Structure 1
Amino acid sequence: MNGAHRPELAIDVKGLTKQFGDRTVVDGIDIQVRRGEICGFLGPNGSGKTTTIRMLCGLLEPSAGEGHCLGFNLLTQSRQIKLRTGYMTQKFGLYEDLSIEENLRFIAEVYDMPDGKQQVRQTLQRLGLVERRQQLAGSLSGGWKQRLALAACLLHEPELLLLDEPTAGVDPKARRDFWHQIHLLAAEGLTVLVSTHYMDEAERCHRLAYISYGKVLTAGTSEEVIANSGLKTWQVRGEQLDRVIALTIDEPDWMAIPFGVAVHISSTSGQDFSTWLQRRQPGHAWQIDPIPTGLEDVFIHLSQHAQDNFR
């Protein structure tokens, strides 16, 4: 990278690595996110997503790697990055015995905002918190706590928003409202990197990066991620679908995933599942149809293979 900065990129890092003792948690990750883009950061628990996010916002110093965040050098200008970044952690981190408005006013004072009172008023209005501004944070539901946490991240008008599983434990309506807000912010030019386990949320992102055991396994738009997987997928319907799963369980070419009243079978081998199953179970009554591969099929396939590599 040789220190060069590409102004169209809000995040441009290469070889990002973090070791704790002899354990490598993040292993040579490259990430590029354009300004105004929503990038979904996916992967199983313990894959290194949170550690990566903490390095990007200057809270953790990388063991190796280089790059820029918002045009500032990740290694030498972490303070400038922190001042322009909003970071929403997995755990609610505000004062539960203060009201919504008191929490925001406290943050405005911490940032020493000259127009703090006005910023608080505008943020309360923007996120629909005006009527609840006197309510204690500790008495809020999960969805309202999430909205307050987002308000706290946006108070100092950051250019980059880092969200670490922001909708975990939040009801579906609050999740929809949250994502509506995120897309409005991105349309105004804010860059968002969000980690999530929800496939419907992944599909709302402009680009995706899938990380497992500290390595990026795939990145791109959802269409590119699906195409690059090389997977073909079939839907199997009928009675006793557990028998279909049992037939494939020791066959490395096939991956069987229950989906409601059907089973998805995926493979990169190029074989046709209907032909294969007919050889194994002649005259079977199951209905088999080829279907488009979905993100969930791809991510389950990636996580299974990543576990094999780890072992």
Structure 2
Amino acid sequence: MTPGRLQLAQGRRRLLGWGASYPGPAVTTEALAARVAERFDLRTQRHARLLGPRLGVKTRHLSRDFSAAVEAPRPGARNPELAAQAVQQAQMRAGLAPDALGYLISHTSTPATLLPGGSAEISRLVGHQGAHMELRQACTGFANALQIAFAMTAAPGSAPVALVGAETGSVFFDPHSLSRDAAQWVNFLQMGDGAAAVIIGPDDAQPGPYLHAAYFGQCQNPPAPGLTLRVGGSDAPNAPGGAVQFEHDYDSVARHGLALLDNGRAALAQAGWSVEDADLIVPHQASGAVAPWLAEQWQLDPERVCAHAAAVGNLGSASIWAALDDVMAHPPVRPGPVLFLGAEATQYSYGGGGVHLSEPKASVFLQNLVCKVPGRTLLQGLNLRLQSGQLYLLYGANGAGKSTLFKLLAGLLDGQAGLSVSDQGEVLARPLLGRRGSERALLGYMPQQGGLYEELTVVDNLRFRADVLCLPRPTERLQVQATAHGLQPVWTQTVGQLSGGWRQRVAFAAAVLAGPRLLLLDEPTAGVVEAKAQLWSRIRALCNSGACVFVSSHDTEDAAQCEHLIALSQG
């Protein structure tokens, strides 16, 4: 199984609203097992005690009562009804009128009817009179919908788009199958019903939260589907005696699940988002056991991995939006990037993105800055305000003061004899001068001459930088940089042996090693000819990840790459 071609959306989109809806009160695993045992004369308690803790789902919400082996959802708990309730919550949070949406996209694997699609009823229930569509997809349906919504909201002023996932999988289950199909125990104990929605709009430069780096990938040469619903389509229109049921190959999913999440991690890294630097990781919520398992596989603090499925079960196509709703209600202590990594075993696909829950203060704020050394004024009357997620170019001739400004922002002029700085301002909400060394990991700096040790190899230069910044898991970070920047051919060569283009590539990798929130690049394209387009692509990826990128150059070609141009003349 190979990752396949990646679809990576550009830019960021405003997260305007979110909401979730669940049918009825939460039902514990013990209560569910007792209910089924009593009503269908099945011995369920022993399996529930043994398998329940392994799946880690403690409670879930159900749209059915289990009063009969085959039954429809309760009134008010149908798939489109739950979806409409979630959309209405999102509309209220966004402050939108019922018909303010430009498009409504629903996604589900458990529709109320094969035709018409559920989006028609959802639209009617929420008062949306515009266009709508439904995607028939399970756990990564949200990611495909997000790709469509990113395209629809690319232009400034675009109307907002609602995305809603809903699943009522509990009705696709006959309790009698537990006695003849062991795989149905997994479905029985980890399933949950519910719906969740988000509303996204174009980037309007207003305070967040924002969605970034939306990605979707489809694996090639995959194994047989790990989850199927074979009956009900035109290949098999009749269900032979009983409910239409999911067929679940738990062992196959367990074997290949990590590869899907690893593919998602690589996609986020390509977009400039690092798992190590995220405040919270939200993997596909297949069960409550996924979070501790993934924390062990990726050597992460378990507290940084979301386990929302423990409270609501596997919500399939709605699980990521439902987890997002929970994150918004209980945000991490540090407001920062949250990474979502969806995975689906029906067709072995992966998709997700990143969210900045709140927009931080200006990355750089200077007002009427004056910087002097004895006998010379280096910078005078400088006003500057740089925002996160934006790309700025400082343009000026040699000697204009570009490198001086960058060194001042990077903290390299602190303590210089005779240095005088007035109205010091802030960098990443910290004083311009006197920052602690630990704070500088938030800032990446690529000086004009690269800042590399020529006698050290490429890998040793990067390892030294990781040690100085006390970065966790340095070996893995180095491997990520080697792959992302194509450094393998020169990995063990000393920097003194490299051409100018290779040196710049290594210096850039060193500057971004810590996943900085502010990146200062002093003449990064100097000496780079053939790989200049790839370098600008990496710079833009970092911007899309939410970093503020400040580039200096005297090259007019570089100026054309940036949305914001700042001219500096003689300080």
Deviation per CA, 1:71-121, whole angstroms, max 9, x where unpaired? 212245364552311111111321223221122112222222231111111
Q: Does 1:178 align with 2:535?
A: yes
Matched positions, count: 208
Distance of 2:495 and 2:411 partners within structure 1 = 27
Distance of 1:29 and 1:40 partners within structure 2 = 15
Q: Does 1:193 align with 2:546?
A: no
- Indicate the structure (1 or 2) with the bigger Cα radius of gyration: 2
* TM-score normalised over the length of structure 2: 0.35
1:208 paired residue number = 565
2:360 paired residue number = 7
* TM-score normalised over the length of structure 1: 0.63
Tell whether the 8 Å contact from 2:398 to 2:554 is kept in structure 1 after alignment: no
Distance of 2:526 and 2:554 partners within structure 1 = 8
Tell whether the 8 Å contact from 1:14 to 1:30 is kept in structure 2 after alignment: yes
Instruction: Evaluate the alpha carbon distance shift between residue 169 and residue 131 of structure 1 in structure 2; reply closer, same or farther with a 3 A threshold.
Output: closer
The CA deviation at 1:27 is: 0.4
1:56 paired residue number = 409
For 1:57-136, what aligned pairs fall within 5 Å after superposition? 57-61=410-414, 63-77=421-435, 79=437, 81-136=439-494
1:18 paired residue number = 371
More strand by share: 1
Instruction: Evaluate the alpha carbon distance shift between residue 75 and residue 100 of structure 1 in structure 2; reply closer, same or farther with a 3 A threshold.
Output: closer
Distance of 1:80 and 1:114 partners within structure 2 = 13
Greater RCO (Cα-Cα under 8 Å, separation 6 or more):
1
Instruction: Give identity over the alignment, percent.
Output: 37
Distance of 2:407 and 2:467 partners within structure 1 = 23
Instruction: Evaluate the alpha carbon distance shift between residue 81 and residue 208 of structure 1 in structure 2; reply closer, same or farther with a 3 A threshold.
Output: farther
Which letter maps to 1:25? L
2:523 paired residue number = 165
1:46 paired residue number = 399
1:139 paired residue number = 497
Q: Does 1:30 align with 2:383?
A: yes
SS in 2 for 1:156: coil
SS in 2 for 1:63: strand
The CA deviation at 1:153 is: 0.9
Which letter maps to 2:402? K
Gaps of 5+ in 1: 1-5, 215-311
Which letter maps to 2:484? R
The CA deviation at 1:16 is: 1.6
Tell whether the 8 Å contact from 1:40 to 1:193 is kept in structure 2 after alignment: yes
SS in 1 for 2:526: coil
Instruction: Evaluate the alpha carbon distance shift between residue 118 and residue 139 of structure 1 in structure 2; reply closer, same or farther with a 3 A threshold.
Output: same
What is the RMSD computed on CA atoms of the aligned residues? 1.8
Tell whether the 8 Å contact from 1:87 to 1:162 is kept in structure 2 after alignment: yes
Instruction: Evaluate the alpha carbon distance shift between residue 58 and residue 93 of structure 1 in structure 2; reply closer, same or farther with a 3 A threshold.
Output: closer
Instruction: Evaluate the alpha carbon distance shift between residue 81 and residue 41 of structure 1 in structure 2; reply closer, same or farther with a 3 A threshold.
Output: farther
Which letter maps to 1:154? V
For 1:145-294, what aligned pairs fall within 5 Å after superposition? 145-171=503-529, 173-214=530-571
Deviation per CA, 1:235-290, whole angstroms, max 9, x where unpaired? xxxxxxxxxxxxxxxxxxxxxxxxxxxxxxxxxxxxxxxxxxxxxxxxxxxxxxxx
SS in 1 for 2:546: coil
Tell whether the 8 Å contact from 1:69 to 1:81 is kept in structure 2 after alignment: no
